[in-house]
Chain A
Amino acid sequence: MRLNPRISQKIAKTVIWFAAIVVLVLLFSIIIYILSKGIPNITWQFLTEIPSDMGRSGGILSCIVGTLSVTLVATVVATPLGVGTAFYLTEYTHESIVTKIIRFSAESLAGIPSIVYGLFGFIFFVIYLKLGWSILSGGLTLAMMILPTIIRTSEEAIHTVHPMYREVSFSLGGTKWQTMIKILIPSALPGIATGIILGIGRCVAETAAVILTAGSALQMPVSIFSPARTMAVHFYILARESISLEKAFATAALLIILILIINIGANILVNRFVAKSH
């Protein structure tokens, strides 16, 4: 039986609208639920004090610092490695067994549960390299975790650069390096930035890998060799051990706000750059 095209169009439109609305409602109800439960508990004291009594009272300043510093270490380590690998794969080599191995490993790594990274980080960084539970161990572990994402998104971004731009740049006497710096990176930057932002989001949200490598100390970290508790870990412990549900929701709300700020900030930066170069 063949449907009248007008009827099939109506059905399709209804189904597609329905899907979009369900997703919208789901996402917003989660965010609104957490924010409404959490924001009333966010006070000045909550933002500026370190936790006391296992987190039942006090604030989460040390956890905010922990989250930001672990994420910063991970991003600073993973970005040059990931973007560099992406450029190697797209510009500095032809398709070969080596590129296939790199791509296959990156794809496999992307699918590994984060706790496996945590275990590896614990054995390698914490114990073997004697870095202990520290911001450094946690950051390096997260760097490995977000590396595949950065490689893949950067590679795709570089692939979307108009192939003629390369030829034009070479034909005007440009070397590969000059072409990369002057043409490819500026053109691919929005895509590369998306990969880095995705990576930052995963770092901020990560629990399992961090608990095993950065620890869960409540005091304020003083250097990258100090142990630290991130906000996600703090939330997990507060909720899991029924220490304080109010503080847990406040932490979760702050996490969501932090991720929003990072996304919006990065978007503004990228847009400003794109506006400047066009």
Chain B
Amino acid sequence: MTDQSKISVKNLNFYYSKHQVIKNLSLEVKANEILSVFGPANSGTTTLLRTMNRMWDIIPGARMEGEVLLDGNNIYASNASTIELRRKVGIVFEIPTPLPMSIFDNVAYGPRLSGIKNKVALEEIVEKSLRMAVIWDEVKDRLHSIGSRLSGGQQQRLCIARVLALEPEVILLDRPCSGLDPVSTAKIEESLRQLKEQFTIIIVPHNVQQAGRVADRAVFLLMGDLIEEGPTAVMFANPKDKRTSDYITGRFG
């Protein structure tokens, strides 16, 4: 792990129409760490993730102030390309959504968009990505059947594979396990630990336990305010702020 900042969020304010969901938030994300951003519903966690790859652009009425830097470059600069950004910073959504096509085509979707047509190259990328997402063995015999026939947990790992196929630098995960059974959740968490070697991972966990299990560092948000941040072990053993300890111990949220 290096001390280099992969993503810096500086003085971020975010509004949906007049409602402010993130309040003057600054945050550094280090390369090759797993950072969990947790908090109760409506704390701005999902919005914070979405500012990191501009996936809020299409939401009417949304407005942002402040800066988000990737490797020191402002991703909102007027000459920054959204397309390139989204290839570098992939996102896995809360609801597993395979596109209406085969497993193979789902994983090959991103590489094909960027112009890779060679069949052998695509096959390599697809296999590598599915292996990294720990789903290859379950689907290798039915790559050409449609993606939505998989179980929920498999669908979500397919979605992770689809993001990995972009060869991104950062992976954002928005409550990736919220609808999944414990076994599927364990598989996804296992694959995250392996992926950490190559990627920077930012996860909004679906509960406090997951934040404690998978992350190196944690950030606690409450109503758009950053309450506390620090190494997960320290924060969970010894929270500095009373609100953090109340939330972790389940007094609210």
Give me the interface of A with B, judged by CB distance under 8 Å.
94, 162, 164-175, 178, 182-183, 186-187, 277-278
Contacts and interface: CB of A to CB of B under 8 A. Distances in A.
Interface residues of B, number: 25
Interface in B134-155: 146
Given A173-B87, A187-B100, A277-B100, A167 B55 contact: yes
Given A94-B60, A167-B55, A183-B99, A172 B110 contact: yes
Contact of A172 (B58, B101, B146, B166): B166
B219 to A, nearest CB: 22
A247 B170 CA distance: 73
B243 interface: no
A171 B86 contact: yes
B95 A164 contact: yes
Given A94-B60, A170-B86, A164 B113 contact: no
Contacts, number: 61
11 contacts: A164-B97, A167-B58, A167-B97, A168-B99, A171-B53, A171-B90, A172-B90, A172-B166, A173-B110, A182-B109, A278-B146
Interface in B104-119: 109-110, 113-114
B236 to A, nearest CB: 31
A278 B55 CA distance: 28
A168 B109 CA distance: 10
B203 interface: no
A171 B91 contact: yes
A173 B90 CA distance: 9
B55 A277 contact: no
Contact of A173 (B60, B95, B114): B114
A121 B91 CA distance: 53
B9 interface: no
B100 A165 contact: yes
B108 to A, nearest CB: 11
B93 interface: yes
